[in-house]
Structure 1
Amino acid sequence: MHIAKTSILIILLHLITVSAVLAQMERERSVVNPKVDAFWTPTLITQATTHHLAARNLNVTIMHSFGIATSNVVRDFFGFDNVQNVRLGLDLGLTDRWSVGVGRSSQLNVVDIRTKYALFQQDKSDKTPVSISLKGDLGIVTQENRRPLEDDISTQASVVISRKFNDTFSLQVNPMYAHFNYLNTTGTYDLFSLGIGSSVQLSNRFALTAEYYPVVGDRVEGTNNAFSLGLNIQTGGHVFQLFFTSSEWHLEQYVLANNDNQFWAGDFRFGFNVNRIFGL
């Protein structure tokens, strides 16, 4: 009996040891070719990025834009007295590749529902040299306007392609399509853009960002291509994004359809985004 007990104990110890070794080997294999993340947040400034939330992680966002900084500087205190738009949003990582989100903007009381899925993710070995994500957004104007519901709906779809070239520089292109069932202006209801975004990492805590929305083909009458410059500040649990932008909107389809200002002509405003990650 004593020998049998000893044999069972040896077998159990052996199994535990083998399991530990296999687990260690698995961990070592998992970090042999890690994924490369070009950006710190799911949204660069207003454009979607290829950054994805981990499964069961919740990103709470506050997006805020003010009035034109160069208009009535003293009276409006560089635009800070003129709140243009605030968006509150929640995004949840369903898997490490797929997330869903919902938000509400104070401008027109737009409620948006969005989703993003990673087709490919850049890795350290360059076997997969770029990250490619698909992103879709549905916007609904909930402000009372006596229009039928279908007129208040807008949609947006994009393919986000990014690459982190080195420890400092990342670049993305963002071909996108936006459609509005109704616009209170003249021009097309279908918009195409080849969005461009970039990040220059200054340190582990600071990064400069920029994004541009060149509309390709027909545009809404009186609108201009939107441009933004920003500074990201990483504080651990938060990422603060401070930026100057020509658009008061935080939703891509509305940036394409409603930007009537020109950044380099001095028509820019200050804004900020706050990102806070919670593990569920």
Structure 2
Amino acid sequence: MIFPKECKFVGNAATSPLGDKVYFLTEYLIHPTPDGIEVLKIQPKDGIGLMRDIESVELVAGPKDTFVWNKEVNTHDRAGLVRKALSTKKRCTVFGKEDDHMTFVCDPDLSTFETVHVFDITPPNPSLVDTLAGLESLGFFETANVVFDHHIRDISKLDTEVYPCRAGGFPHTLDRDIPPKGSRIACCRTGRQICHENYGYDFEFEDICPITQLNREPFIARCCRAENSGIGMYNGYFGAVVHWGANPKTIADALFAMIKEWRERND
């Protein structure tokens, strides 16, 4: 896959006010032709000054192999651009407009990204999944070079009578009701502790903590027990655990730190 690291390495050759000179950082040119857009790989000559003569030119993709994505995109959302490029069924997809930053993806391949597995539950909304998706769409993980595989457990499908809280839309919950003796309760370690401390032990439990669902690495998951937050091995898998109500910065910091350590462990 050819995907320039930053837009500053991609030049627009729609006009040439200085002839064949290019900006010294330029590695690729988006070049309009009578048949359509072509993408060129270029090598500026060594020298001084911002504008340089061209040492060499190589065709990356011709008009027949190139699709121009006319809709607005966030060029920092690298994984999103690769997905869009894959959807065009063309070897090369050009993004951006002549009066804006431009880039391209040639021979798109998501396997070049690190997959981070996200473990969460619903209802209510899987906030960890939602937060990561929002940050990803903003291009927040551009430098991390990751994609996310979401594993969302729907606890409403469990064969239980009592659930953790009303926020999930359940009629019988630990935060509002006294659970009937012998009832089957969907909850985590905290819910079990509440039951044991206040109502005794005559219950069956279905553990819904995302940590108990781990089966892939590297991962990121959330847990309501603050002491479980951190980076390391959980149930035999490496990843990061953030607190249930962690804010976006805390989640992003944990993700970056976890990926850094994961790659160091596997170098």
Is the shorter-chain TM-score for this pair beyond 0.5, marking a shared fold?
no
More helix per residue: 1 or 2? Answer: 2
Per the normalisation by structure 2, the TM-score is: 0.24
- TM-score normalised per structure 1: 0.23
Q: With CA pairs under 8 Å and 6+ residues apart, which has the higher RCO, 1 or 2?
A: 1
